Amino acid sequence: MGTARLLLLLAAAALCCASASPAAKGGSCSKFPALFNFGDSNSDTGGFWAAFPAQRGPFGMTYFGKPAGRASDGRLAIDFIAQAMGLPLLSPYLQSIGSDFRRGANFATLASTALLPNTSVFVAGISPFSLAIQLNQMKELRDRAISSDGNNGQLPPLDIFGHALYTIDIGQNDFTSNLGSLGVETVKQSLPSVVNQISWTIQDLYNIGARNFMVFNMAPIGCYPAFLTELPHSSNDLDEFGCMTTYNSGVVYYNELLNNSLAEVRKKLHDASIVYVDKHTVTLELFRHPDAHGLEYGTKACCGYGGGAYNFNQNVYCGNSKTVNGQTVTATACGDPQNYVSWDGIHATEAANKIIASAVISGSYSYPPSKLCSP
């Protein structure tokens, strides 16, 4: 059994036994009193759909029983992380109804980029809430908490900001949005700017008091059903697991840039904890060996249209209906999402997210090692 597979199995077992942890009993097994998250659809808990309300079923079917603003059938990795830390599920900063920011906030939105977009969400599908905008939202939240002097019951107490955990999971849309038209080698030229934006954001957050950071690297997009269907490639470019090697090598290049950049930031910010989270290795292992982790389908989407090896059609996205050859067809969900790595061809199922989160919580895929939750 490979090392990655063994570590994943041990981490998943630890999360399954979380009922005995302080977090499961309503307390906290974490040293962090709050969680502030920045990112894209991989960690968006409802921000995009608060700004542009239109999400429909079958999203949310597994855990919430209805659409819950997440690009999955249920919880995301950030949800499992928050729960393991004894924190409530993060309220999206953009959600005006029912939000509670006392223990943190989520600034992530679906389709967000690290770099400022130069197009509209209605033209290219890129969110206007880039990382710089999310950072400004964080500053606004902090300023409001300061001006209220801790007397607003929905805002974080003033002493929380310096002790909270700040997570950043963004960059995938910067990488993928132009892959089809420009090719991986051209896109790679812009990746240093993406990494620099993330590093500058950490330093900016540090300047307003943040000290604890976890930065997620990029998952192997060459294994996702949507990209396997949409991106040009030859059969010779597929590895033995059915993933595209050219695009995945571009991801590895990005991850190396990110890791090296964070190492430089650590040298500047000596009293900060800056952890690099290897989500890539965890997700790649799930795509390659789903059966070793209680799953069945790797590169096939649960919710989609068209069947076949990938069950993905870019013209009939999960939950949508469209007329094809004179007939109305709908991209529906499978009856067993717990057996899939990919939910809709682009995002992970709750089952996969739980495994990814368990790896993060264990600290086995973090550098420097950082265990979020102890029994």
Task: Map residue 216 onto helix, strand or coil.
Answer: strand
- Is 364 one of the annotated active-site residues of the chain? no
Q: Taking the alpha carbons of 4, 6, 12, 15 in that order, is the dihedral positive or negative?
A: negative
Facing residues of 332 across strands? 304
Ranges of the chain whose pLDDT falls below 50: 14-27
Q: Tokens 């041990």 — which residue?
A: 10
CATH number of 3-280+353-367: 3.40.50
Contacts of 270 (CB under 8 A, 6+ apart): none
Tokens of 242: 């059915």
Q: Are 338 and 50 a contacting pair, CB within 8 Å? A: no
- Is 91 one of the annotated active-site residues of the chain? no
Predicted local distance difference test score (pLDDT) of residue 346: 98
Predicted local distance difference test score (pLDDT) of residue 24: 38
pLDDT (tens digit per residue) in 192-244: 999 999 999 999 999 999 999 999 999 999 999 999 999 999 999 999 999 99
User: Which of the residues 73, 174, 278, 344 is marked catalytic?
Assistant: 344
DSSP H or E segment with residue 351: helix 350-362
- Is 261 one of the annotated active-site residues of the chain? no
Predicted local distance difference test score (pLDDT) of residue 6: 57
Predicted local distance difference test score (pLDDT) of residue 371: 80
Predicted local distance difference test score (pLDDT) of residue 176: 97
Predicted local distance difference test score (pLDDT) of residue 298: 98
User: Which of the residues 347, 358, 362, 366 is marked catalytic?
Assistant: 347
Predicted local distance difference test score (pLDDT) of residue 36: 98
Predicted local distance difference test score (pLDDT) of residue 203: 98
How far is the C-alpha of 359 from the C-alpha of 221, rounded, in Å? 19
Domain ranges of the chain: 3-280+353-367
User: Which of the residues 41, 358, 362, 364 is marked catalytic?
Assistant: 41
Q: Are 12 and 358 a contacting pair, CB within 8 Å? A: yes
Q: What is the DSSP string of 34-82?
A: -EEEEESTTT-SSHHHHHS----TTTTTTTTSS--S-SSSS--HHHHHH
